[in-house]
Amino acid sequence: MFLIIYMYIRVCECVNYLSPHSIEHMPHERQRLHEPMTAEDRMLRKQWVMDQRLAPHEPVTVPELHPQNMFRRFFAKPWDFQAYKLMPIIVSII
């Protein structure tokens, strides 16, 4: 019984119950075409478009966000070692 409750809690934590929403200033085309855009609207729209561009270093991977326990690290080491050794060979073939 405890296991079932624990699993239910874990599933509920992983699911986002909030609906996604747009952070765009005018997300719908009707809003943009209904009346002329003001200078402020144009500035906000331009800023939103510029914010959508990724920087050269993105996406950033942070290993601390996806930690592995000691057993997974232990059993993954041989496979990681083989992958690192075989990677130059595989890349040279392609």
Instruction: Select from 8, 7, 48 the least CA-distant residue to 27.
Output: 48
Per the model's pLDDT, the better-predicted residue between 67 and 22 turns out to be 67
Measured CA to CA, the distance from residue 48 to residue 22 in angstroms comes to: 11
Phi-psi region of 33 (alpha: psi -120 to 50; beta: other; left: phi over 0): alpha
Per the model's pLDDT, the better-predicted residue between 89 and 10 turns out to be 89
Query: What are the tens digits of pLDDT across the range 3-61?
Result: 555 555 555 555 555 555 666 767 777 877 888 888 988 888 888 888 888 778 878 88
Find out whether 44 and 25 touch, Cβ atoms under 8 Å. yes
**Does the predicted TM-score (pTM) go above 0.75?**
no
The Cβ-side half-sphere exposure at 21, using a 13 Å CA radius, reads 6
Per the model's pLDDT, the better-predicted residue between 16 and 87 turns out to be 87
